[in-house]
Chains A and B, each alone.
Chain A
Amino acid sequence: ETGVTQSPTHLIKTRGQQVTLRCSSQSGHNTVSWYQQALGQGPQFIFQYYREEENGRGNFPPRFSGLQFPNYSSELNVNALELDDSALYLCASSLDKGGTDTQYFGPGTRLTVL
């Protein structure tokens, strides 16, 4: 069974640019959640995708957007990058949306905005 994978591992962008991060969910999981983790902080929920539809969003501006594909892999897009967007971006997959299902995290993508 393949776990959750994310690409790229590291990324450096400049302010104002756009970035796309990718996540492959664990086999059999139809739900992907994205989190942002600033240095020294716990992860914060960005949004969740369930069966290709957004299923809930945290307190993040619209320039954070996402997609989920028929194979349940997912992308996180961030437009007009700001310095404060520098963080570790984590995706987590789960068997289903809602409830208290275990979430399985990938290793994250470290984004640095200069």
Chain B
Amino acid sequence: DAKTTQPNSMESNEEEPVHLPCNHSTISGTDYIHWYRQLPSQGPEYVIHGLTSNVNNRMASLAIAEDRKSSTLILHRATLRDAAVYYCILRDWDNTGKLIFGQGTTLQVKP
């Protein structure tokens, strides 16, 4: 399984944009880039995913490098509720569709 590399932790100020990077230099052509986040004392929740093109949804934006070896999750205006561990996960077709989590990035949002 292709691996991802994320910074252990990041800090942001409330109401400012946050850019969470993820490196995946061994990504294959059929790997989708998924992001999940885990708020304190909760299970992980889906944030966004993409294959090649940049993606937007109500929660965030995903910017994917042209060579697909890296991507960035963008939270446009961080709130205190966005403080969580963010996981970047590569997913190819798999019989189980299991998620392979790394350590993730712990995002701290300061008021």
Q: Which of B43-75 contact A (CB under 8 A)?
A: 43-46, 49
Main SS of the interface on chain B? loop
Are B43 and A56 neighbours in the complex by a CB distance under 8 Å?
Answer: no
Number of A-B pairs, beta carbon distance below 8 Å? 74
Interface size class of B (residues with CB under 8 A): 20 to 34
- Chain B residues within 8 Å of A108, by CB: 42-43
Residues 76-106 of chain A: 1 if any B CB is under 8 Å from the residue's CB, otherwise 0? 0000000000000010101001111111111
Are A42 and B43 neighbours in the complex by a CB distance under 8 Å?
Answer: no
Are A55 and B99 neighbours in the complex by a CB distance under 8 Å?
Answer: no
Check: A58 CB closer than 8 A to any chain B CB: yes
- How far, in Å, is A64 (CB) from chain B's closest CB? 15
- Chain A residues within 8 Å of B94, by CB: 98-99
Q: Which of A38-67 contact B (CB under 8 A)?
A: 41-45, 48, 55-56, 58
Are A42 and B104 neighbours in the complex by a CB distance under 8 Å?
Answer: yes
In the complex the two chains form, what is the Cα distance from A27 to B46 in whole Å? 17
Are A56 and B44 neighbours in the complex by a CB distance under 8 Å?
Answer: no
Are A43 and B99 neighbours in the complex by a CB distance under 8 Å?
Answer: yes
Q: A48-B96, A56-B95 given. 15 additional CB < 8 A pairs? A: A35-B101, A42-B85, A42-B101, A43-B99, A43-B101, A58-B98, A90-B44, A97-B96, A98-B95, A99-B93, A100-B92, A105-B43, A105-B44, A106-B43, A107-B41
